[in-house]
Structure 1
Amino acid sequence: MTNAVNTRELVLGILMEVTGKGTHSHLVIRDVLSKYQYLGKQERSFITRVSIGTLEQMILIDYIIDQFSSVKVKKMKPVIRNILRSAVYQLKWMDSIPDSAVCNEAVKLTRKKGFQGLSGFVNGVLRSIARGPAEVRYPDEKKQPAEYMSVRYSQPLWLTQMWLDRFGPETTGQILGAFLEDSPTCIRCNTGRISPEELAKRLNQQGIETTSSPYIREAMEIRGYDYLGALPEFEQGLFQVQDISSMLAVRIAAPQKGDTVYDVCAAPGGKSLYLAELMQNTGMVTARDLTPYKVGLIEENILRSGLTNIRAQVWDACALDEAAVETADLVLADLPCSGLGVLGRKPDIKYHMSQGQIRELRGLQREILGTVHKYVKKGGVLVYSTCTIDIEENEKNLEWFLSQFPFHLESIDPYLCAALRSNTTAQGYLQLLPGVHRADGFFMARLRKDGE
C-alpha cells in the first residue's frame, strides 16, 4: 500500500476526533475522504475500513489490549490508546496485512507523534497480541451471558442487558451480530426518471454491485463504488441515498396526489423527496429542520431531484406554526432519537448514548408530537417514526400519544409486502430489527386523526 504511514495517521486523526470530541464518525470520515479525494481507491478503502472497524470493535479491542498490557487502556495517553486500537483491528481483522508491518507502522506513528519513549511499549504490546490471540480469556457464556455478549459483539453492557431482557439471547445475538456485518449503501431509484432495472444496469457497467431489496421495488443496495459524488447517476438525481427502513416509513404514510404534507424533522431530505415523488409532482411537501445547515442539505437534494412540489424551511419542530394548524393531510414525524437502530452505520453512537440521554430524548419526542399533531386535519394522517430499538422511545411513546390526543392506530398491512406483515402491523406499527429484517433498526406507526 502506498503512503501507508499517512493513511494510518489519517485514521488516528479520525479516532481522536470521534473518541476525544464526540464528533459523529460518519461526518469525520466523510470530511477526510472529501479532503483527500486524490488518494487511490485502495487507500480510501483502508481509511474507511480501519476507522469504522476500530470503532465497531472497540470494546472487544480494549478487552484484548487490557489482557496483554501492563497499563490498562483507560489510563493510556489518548494518542497511544488509539494507535494501539487501530493496530489491533488490523492484526485481528485484516489478514492481508502482515503482522510485522502492522507493528512497525504503529511504532513509526508513535514516534512521529512525539512519543519516542513509548515506542517500545507499543511494539511489545502489539507483538504479544500478534503471537497470542488464543490466550484471550472471555467471560463465561453460561454464567455471564450479558458480559460475554457485550465483549463478543463489542456492545456496551447496559445495552446488551436491555435487549437480552426484551428479546432474549437468540434475537439479541441476531441484532448484535448484524451491527458488525458490512453495511452496503442503500439507495432509492428515482422512478420518475429511470427504472430500477436500467439504473442497476448503468451502475453494473461501472463495476458497482447492486442487490435488489425484497421489500420495495425501487430500493437497492450497492457495493464497490469509490466516491458517491463522482457517479453521474447521483449527480443527475437518478437515485437518492436512503435506507430501506425510512423508505418504508414513507410507504406507510401513503401520500396522495395533491396532498399538503409536512415533514417536520426532514434533513437530509430523503423521506421528503420520496413523498414528493409518490405525489407525482402535485400538492406540496414542506420539509423542515432546525438549522440553516440542515436545511441546506435538503435544498441540495431538492435541486438534484428536479422536483417542484417540495420546499425546505428552517423551523423548530417544538415551536407551533399557527398558520399550519389543521392544514395538513399528512404529517411525517421522524424524530430525533437515540439512534440505537443504526449502530451498524454509526458505531460511535453506542459510546456516547446513555439511559439518561434516552429519557431526555423521549421528553423531546413528546414535546414535538404535542406540537405537530395540531397540523393534521380531521381525518388526516400522522406517521411517527424513529431509527431506534427502544421501547421507551417507541411503543411507550405511542401509548402516551394515544392517551393524550384524538388519534387512533390504523393497519399498515396494505402498504407492506407479506414478509413484513405481523400482529403489530395489523394494529398499525412495525419495529424493524437488524439481523431479523434486511434493514436498519427502525420503528414506524400510522395514526389517523379522529373526525371527518
Structure 2
Amino acid sequence: MELIHRNLLIGIHDALQETFFEKNKYADKVIERLLKAHRKWGSQDRAVVSEIFYNIIRWKKRLEYYMGEGVKPNNIYKLILTYLLWSETHYKKFDEFEGIKIANTLNKLKKGTLPTKAIEHSIPEWLAETLEKELGNQWEKEMTALNKQAPTVLRVNTLKTTKENLIEELEDSDIESSPIRGYIDAVELTEKRNVFLTEAFKKGMFEVQDASSQLIGQLLDVKEGMRVVDACAGAGGKTLHLAALMQNKGQIIALDIFEWKLAELKRRAKRAGAHNIETRFINDNKVIKRLYNSADRLLIDAPCSGLGVLKRNPDSKWKIDQDFIDRIIKEQQNILQDYSKIIKKGGQLVYATCSILPSENTLQTQNFINNNPEYEIIREENIMPSQGYDGFYMALIKRKG
C-alpha cells in the first residue's frame, strides 16, 4: 500500500502532540477540531485520520516497546511509523523514514512475544496491577474488549420520532443502521459515519448514547408527573433520556458544578424538544440542601475513573493514576452520602458509574448501605465491556418509607 498523504500525516502528528503533551486536551475534542479545520478532506481521508489517531493512542505503550523508547514531543513521527509498520497499513517497504532507521523496530515486530501484560494490553503498569487486584483473572478479557473500537449507538428521541422512522430517515442520508435486541430505544450504525450533519440530528430525532448508558435511565423507573433530580447532569445525555421517558410531564432538575455543561444541556434540550428540564448550578452546598426530601427519583451519575469507556476515550488511561482513583472514590462517597438525602422517604435513586472497578461500584454502594440503614439496594447491574458495549455499573437504591 502507498504511504498516506503527507498532509494527513502532518494532521495526525499535530493532533497526537496536542493530546499527549498539552494539559487538559482530550482526544475527542482534538480530533473534532482537526477535522473541522480540514473540511476539504474527503470522507475516506477523514476516516483514515481518525482510525490511525485513535489506534496510536490506544496502543501507545506497545508502540513504545517496539520503538525502544517512550513517546516524546520530537518523536511523534516515529510513533506513527511504528504503528503503520505494526498494523501493516498505509505504508510501503523502505529502510528509512523522516530520517528514522526502522530495522530495530522490524526485528521486535517479528519476535511477536511481549515482556509484560501491561505492554500486551497497552496500559500503564500501575493500572494492570489495579485491574488484576480488583477483577482477578477477568481483567485481561475486559482489557481485550476495551482495546476495540466502540460502535456508534444512537438513542431514539421518542419525544420526536420512533425507532422505525429514525432508521428510515438515516437511510435517506445513506446511513445504514439497525435496532439492538434487548435495548428499547437503541439503534446501532453499521459503520462509523458523521451523524451530526444529518437532518435527523438537526430535527432532534436522536442523541448519540451508548447502549449500556441507556439502561441507566430505564433502571430509575421514572413516571410521568414525578419530580426527578439529575445530580451530576453534565451536558445532559441521561437528563434528556429521562425527559423522553417522562414524556415531558413532571419536573427534572439538572444539577452540575460546571455552568458551561448546563448551558450545553439547555441547547441540547431545545433541539430535543425536552421542556420539563430546569438547570441549577451547584455553587455551594445550599443548592443541594434546599432539595432534601423533595424528589421522587434521583440519578447520581457519579464522577469516576472512566475505565469502562476506554473504547471511546482511550487517552484517559494515560491521563489518570492511582492517586486520581483514590481521590475519586472519596468524592463518590461524599456525593452519595450528601445527595441521597434529596429523595423523599419511599423514593428511589440510581447510583451509576462508567467504571468496572468494584471499589467504585459494589463496594461503594455496600458501604453506603452499611452506614445508612434507612436505604436498601433493590437491584444492581455490572455491565462489562466484554458484553459488547461500554462498561457501566448501576444500583437502584430505595429510601425506606
Range into which the TM-score falls when normalised by the shorter chain:
over 0.9
Q: Give the alignment partner of residue 279 of structure 2, picking from 304, 312, 319.
A: 312
CA contact (8 A) 2:159 2:272 kept: no
For residues 43-77 of structure 1, what are the alpha-carbon distances to aligned partners after superposition, in whole Å with 9 as ceiling and x for unaligned?
211221111000000111011111xxxxx336xx4
Closer/same/farther in 2, CA of residues 73 and 213 from structure 1, 3 Å limit: same
Q: Give the alignment partner of residue 73 of structure 1, picking from 64, 70, 77.
A: 70
Partner of 1:40: 42
Separation (CA, whole Å) in 1 of partners of 2:279 and 2:5:
43
CA contact (8 A) 2:369 2:377 kept: no
Separation (CA, whole Å) in 1 of partners of 2:303 and 2:286:
15
- Verify: 1:25 aligned to 2:27, yes or no: yes
Separation (CA, whole Å) in 2 of partners of 1:185 and 1:313:
31
Q: How does 1:98-109 map to 2 (within 5 A)?
A: 98-100=92-94, 107=98
Q: Give the alignment partner of residue 245 of structure 2, picking from 278, 286, 300.
A: 278
Q: Which TM-score applies when normalising by structure 2?
A: 0.92
For residues 392-419 of structure 1, what are the alpha-carbon distances to aligned partners after superposition, in whole Å with 9 as ceiling and x for unaligned?
11122112211233543343xxxxxxxx
Closer/same/farther in 2, CA of residues 73 and 158 from structure 1, 3 Å limit: closer
Partner of 2:129: 161
For 1:336, what is the secondary structure of its paired residue? Answer: coil
- Verify: 1:93 aligned to 2:94, yes or no: no
For 1:321, what is the secondary structure of its paired residue? Answer: helix
Closer/same/farther in 2, CA of residues 172 and 321 from structure 1, 3 Å limit: closer
Separation (CA, whole Å) in 2 of partners of 1:283 and 1:30:
36
CA contact (8 A) 2:175 2:193 kept: no
Over the matched positions of the two proteins, sequence identity in percent amounts to 27
Separation (CA, whole Å) in 1 of partners of 2:3 and 2:269:
39
Separation (CA, whole Å) in 2 of partners of 1:136 and 1:13:
30
For residues 67-103 of structure 1, what are the alpha-carbon distances to aligned partners after superposition, in whole Å with 9 as ceiling and x for unaligned?
xxxxx336xx4221x2111221122225344344xx8
For 1:30, what is the secondary structure of its paired residue? Answer: helix
CA contact (8 A) 2:186 2:211 kept: yes
Partner of 1:337: 304
**CA displacement at 1:449 relative to structure 2:** 0.6
Separation (CA, whole Å) in 2 of partners of 1:361 and 1:40:
41
CA contact (8 A) 2:229 2:299 kept: yes
For residues 9-65 of structure 1, what are the alpha-carbon distances to aligned partners after superposition, in whole Å with 9 as ceiling and x for unaligned?
121111111211242211211222233233211221122111100000011101111
Partner of 1:10: 11
Q: Give the alignment partner of residue 152 of structure 1, picking from 103, 120, 127.
A: 120
Partner of 1:420: none
Separation (CA, whole Å) in 2 of partners of 1:290 and 1:29:
26
Partner of 2:197: 230
Q: Which TM-score applies when normalising by structure 1?
A: 0.83
Letter in 2 for 1:52: Y
CA contact (8 A) 2:146 2:311 kept: yes
For 2:296, what is the secondary structure of its paired residue? Answer: strand
Partner of 2:114: 138
Partner of 2:354: 387
Separation (CA, whole Å) in 2 of partners of 1:3 and 1:98:
10
For residues 214-262 of structure 1, what are the alpha-carbon distances to aligned partners after superposition, in whole Å with 9 as ceiling and x for unaligned?
3312102224354332111111110011111221111110101101111
For residues 254-288 of structure 1, what are the alpha-carbon distances to aligned partners after superposition, in whole Å with 9 as ceiling and x for unaligned?
10110111111112211101111111110011122
Separation (CA, whole Å) in 1 of partners of 2:381 and 2:343:
22
For 1:237, what is the secondary structure of its paired residue? Answer: coil
Separation (CA, whole Å) in 2 of partners of 1:401 and 1:325:
17
Letter in 2 for 1:152: E
Q: Which moved more, 1:295-304 or 1:218-227?
A: 218-227
Separation (CA, whole Å) in 2 of partners of 1:32 and 1:17:
11
Q: How does 1:346-357 map to 2 (within 5 A)?
A: 346-357=313-324
For 2:358, what is the secondary structure of its paired residue? Answer: coil
Separation (CA, whole Å) in 2 of partners of 1:213 and 1:155:
31
**What 5-or-longer segments of structure 1 have no aligned partner?**
67-71, 108-118, 140-146, 412-427
Q: Matched residue pairs, number?
A: 399
Closer/same/farther in 2, CA of residues 94 and 217 from structure 1, 3 Å limit: farther
Separation (CA, whole Å) in 1 of partners of 2:396 and 2:318:
32
Letter in 2 for 1:95: T
Q: Give the alignment partner of residue 380 of structure 2, picking from 411, 420, 429.
A: 429
CA contact (8 A) 2:152 2:192 kept: no
Separation (CA, whole Å) in 2 of partners of 1:203 and 1:332:
31
Closer/same/farther in 2, CA of residues 325 and 220 from structure 1, 3 Å limit: same
Letter in 2 for 1:430: E
Separation (CA, whole Å) in 1 of partners of 2:268 and 2:74:
38
**CA displacement at 1:155 relative to structure 2:** 1.9
CA contact (8 A) 2:3 2:91 kept: no
**CA displacement at 1:8 relative to structure 2:** 1.4
Separation (CA, whole Å) in 1 of partners of 2:251 and 2:222:
11
Separation (CA, whole Å) in 1 of partners of 2:244 and 2:217:
11
For 1:381, what is the secondary structure of its paired residue? Answer: strand
Separation (CA, whole Å) in 1 of partners of 2:91 and 2:176:
25
For 1:73, what is the secondary structure of its paired residue? Answer: coil
**CA displacement at 1:311 relative to structure 2:** 2.3
Partner of 1:250: 217
